[in-house]
Amino acid sequence: MKIALFGRLFNESFTDSFKLMFDEFAKHNVEVDIYEPFYDFLIREINFKPPVNGYYKGCDDLNKDVDFVFSIGGDGTFLEAVTIVRDAGIPIVGINSGRLGFMADIAQDEIPQALSDIFEGNYTIEERNLLQLETSKNGLFPEFNYALNEFTVHKTDTASMITIHTYLNNEYLNSYWADGLIIATPTGSTAYSLSVGGPILVPNTQNFIISPISPHNLTVRPIVVPNYHEITLKVEGRSDSYLASLDSRSCTFDSSIELKIKKSDFKIRVLKLKTHSFYGTLRNKLMWGVDKRN
């Protein structure tokens, strides 16, 4: 088996679990490539020099023959791993070095059994839809214009709201007068969109969620639309520029740029343990049914 490790940093409390992973890799003759900045962090901050076969700095030099990419961190790290894997079709394994995540859902105390299940082939592969951003000119995010969670338009100042004229397949939907607007995938339904009142969608549903951020009119609510629709946004306001975000990556643009969002032509493959389920993660992460009263 060949794998690639991706990460940024983690707390000292995760060190023993991380070293245990390499013990298991050695027992099963796993060849490991590692993201070079992560390798430098391990040597500099953890004082650990893991035995690896090679290094990579980004998407271009990632070995596309690896069986898995292990993302070490949280959901934010997982989203960064997506920008490395892109359309290579390599399954991503989310190892959580902190609190439970929706994508990085293998907790620290589950690592030994999780690795055993992976080596024995006791897992499933889920495919997750992404969204793609296209612009009328001066292409935003030229490196990678896709997002697994969401695309967001937001005002850049703290004063007045902005107006986002929204169309579905060129049919006018609404002009959102708000602080911003989120276009979320089912995977992103438990992220930013959820925090502004958006619904939770099961990951394999074929939809987008359009969720306004602090809308002026309280009757304006999130709406779920099919993901085979193309969403067009035209933004205007008192400011000269606005903020566009794909997951955790952001840039500014002006009102002359028209934004188009559609389903991407490839999917991200995610390894899921058979002992895990989306509904179980919901209960644990959102503490459904937990009574915290004394």
Binding-site entries for NAD(+): 75-76, 149-150, 179, 190-195
- Is 75 a catalytic site residue? yes
Q: Would the CA dihedral through 37, 43, 46, 52 be positive or negative?
A: positive
Q: Which residue among the candidates 33, 75, 105, 247 is catalytic per the annotation?
A: 75
Q: Which residue from 179, 173, 190, 271 is spatially nearest to 226, judged by alpha carbons?
A: 173
Distance (Å, whole) CA 149 – CA 208: 10
Q: What angle do CA 262, 240, 177 make, to 5 degrees?
A: 60
- Detail the residues annotated as belonging to a binding site: 75-76, 149-150, 179, 190-195
Report DSSP state, residue 224: E
**SS3 sequence of 73-138:** ECHHHHHHHHHHHHHHCCCEEEEECCCCCCCCCECHHHHHHHHHHHHCCCEEEEEEEEEEEEECCC
Distance (Å, whole) CA 6 – CA 13: 18
Any idea which residues carry the catalytic annotation?
Answer: 75
